[in-house]
Amino acid sequence: MIVGGSGVLGVLDLQGGVQEHLEHLRRVGVAARPVKSAAGLEGLAGLIIPGGESTCLSRLLRLFGLDEAIKRAYAAGLKLWGTCAGAILLASENVGETPFFGLIDIAVDRNAFGSQLDSFNREMLVSAVAKEPIPLTFIRAPKIVRAGESVQVLLQLDDYIAAAENERILVTVFHPELTPNLAFHRYFARKCGVLPVNGDGAALDPNWTPQSWMRFSHHV
């Protein structure tokens, strides 16, 4: 399997905020495509595993043969970003449950905040990602309750970690794709080498609306 070198990022297209992630990547000037099969991983520099329902996602990944394909692509150099359920799937430890990919040395507590009714928004400074505070949307979010020595904590909130990374994996328990802020998508694109590390670009898109992704849906 050939990965990297194309400057293209992918978004796992099985469940969750696929179009919203694709739209944010396009807004930061990155070529992006949905990934529904192992063949779709070919040539990618990075892959976003979006939020959704982690148990459902794990079943779909196995059904479509993407679980082993993503592991092979990661071993060949693919960078990964898991948001919410995606972070759960990438974690090496899932409190009270069996881990799925186990690719980053973190422990997560699934549904730590309770039900969907316990969703909330915050605004925090994540200095490694942007110079200005970033809006954060938590929807039935997990908590990262431990990070290993190989993992850098990007954002600590109260008694849990909300964002972390190692050399090749980024995890966030919130949903950057559901806000007008482009900082995390730009950060991941730079991590994947498809944008200049010190490139310019506004973190906030003033033209964004919650329905902005709909203009792109007919392309995929």
Contacts of residue 25, Cβ cutoff 8 Å, sequence gap at least 6: 9, 11, 31, 32, 48, 185, 189
Q: Give the span between the Cα atoms of 194 and 189, in whole angstroms.
A: 5
Active site residues: 84, 175, 177
Helix/strand/coil for 216: helix
Specify whether the CB–CB gap between 139 and 53 falls below 8 A. Answer: no
Helix/strand/coil for 134: strand
Q: What CA–CA distances, in Å, run from 155 to 73, 111, 132, 138, 212?
A: 28, 19, 14, 14, 27
- Amino acid identity, position 102: G
Token pair for residue 25?
């990547």
Specify whether the CB–CB gap between 82 and 171 falls below 8 A. Answer: yes
